[in-house]
Amino acid sequence: MSNNRVKAKYPCKQTELYAVVITYILGVLEYIPRFAGHNTNYTVGEMGLFQIFFDSVKALPNFQQRNEPSETLRVLLKAQSDLCLNKWRALRTFIEGAYEGDLMKPKLESAGWAYLAQASAYNWEDINELIESGMEFLNANEAELITKGGMLPTFKMDYETAFNKFTVLYIQIPSSVLNQRVLTDEKVIANNKLYDWSIKTGKAANVIFYTDAESAIREMFVFSNVLSTVSSSGPATLKGRVTDTANNPISGVDVILETLDVEIVTDANGEFNSGNIPSGEYKLKFEKEGFIPFEMEIVINKGVTKTQDAVLTAA
Q: What is the mean pLDDT of residues 64-73?
A: 84
Q: What is the pLDDT of residues 200-244, one digit of tens each?
A: 999 999 999 999 999 999 999 999 888 888 775 667 889 999 999
Specify the pLDDT at position 190.
95
Q: Which residues contact 19 (CB under 8 A, 6 or more apart)?
A: 230
Return the axis-axis angle of helices 44-59 and 14-30, rounded to nearest 10°: 170
Range with the largest mean pLDDT of 181-185, 299-303, 309-313: 309-313
First-last CA distance in the chain: 22
Residue 270, sorted as left (phi over 0), alpha (psi -120 to 50) or beta, turns out to be: left
Specify the pLDDT at position 1.
40
Does the pLDDT value for residue 198 go beyond 70? yes
State residue 244 phi and psi, 5-degree precision.
-90, -175
The three-state (H, E, C) secondary structure of 297-310, written as one string: EEEECCCCEEECCE
Helix, strand, or coil (residue 249): strand
Amino acid letter, residue 177: V
Helix, strand, or coil (residue 237): strand
pLDDT above 90 coverage of the chain, percent: 64
Specify the pLDDT at position 154.
97
Q: What is the pLDDT of residues 140-195, one digit of tens each?
A: 999 999 999 999 999 999 999 999 999 999 999 888 877 888 888 899 999 999 99
Segments making up each domain of the chain, as ranges: 1-61+184-231, 67-171, 234-315
Give 276's pLDDT tier (boundaries 50, 70, 90): confident
Domain 234-315 sits in CATH at 2.60.40.1120
Question: Which of 3-7, 34-38, 75-79, 141-145 bottoms out in mean pLDDT, i.e. has the lowest?
Answer: 3-7
Q: How far is CA 291 from CA 77, 115, 118, 313, in A?
A: 15, 16, 11, 6
Residue pair 170/125 in contact by the 8 Å Cβ criterion: no
Strand 271-273 and strand 305-307: the pairing is unpaired
DSSP 264: E
C-alpha to C-alpha distance for 96 and 99, rounded to whole angstroms: 6
Q: What is the mean pLDDT of residues 122-126?
A: 90
